[in-house]
Amino acid sequence: MRTTLTLEDDLAERLKAHARRRNISFKAAVNAAIRRGLMSPDRVSEPRPRIRVDTFSSAFQPGVDPLRLNQLVDDLEVRRFGGSE
């Protein structure tokens, strides 16, 4: 089907660049973009419920895993007694 389509300048430039990169015609680039847009799910959907995250204070610095402190103590003891680690 042949039709006249008026594109905004920024979209036309992006489509031309896309066509050059893919080594396809401008027409093929426009058709592919429209197909992708029509196949994508509609963005209008029910609002998602808000998620609440409770924070807490800790004596440890970020990145310190308190569950691995026993391993650290073991490593330090091995070094102190001349182990190979």
Question: CA-CA distance, 11 to 18, in Å (whole number)?
Answer: 10
Per-residue model confidence (pLDDT) at position 84: 57
How many CA atoms within 13 Å lie on the side-chain side of 21? 7
Question: pLDDT tens track of the chain, all 85 residues?
Answer: 888 989 999 999 999 999 999 999 999 999 999 999 888 777 666 788 899 988 888 888 888 888 888 888 888 888 888 765 4
C-beta atoms surrounding 57 within 10 Å: 4
Per-residue model confidence (pLDDT) at position 11: 95
Contact in structure between 53 and 63 (CB atoms under 8 Å): no
Per-residue model confidence (pLDDT) at position 59: 83
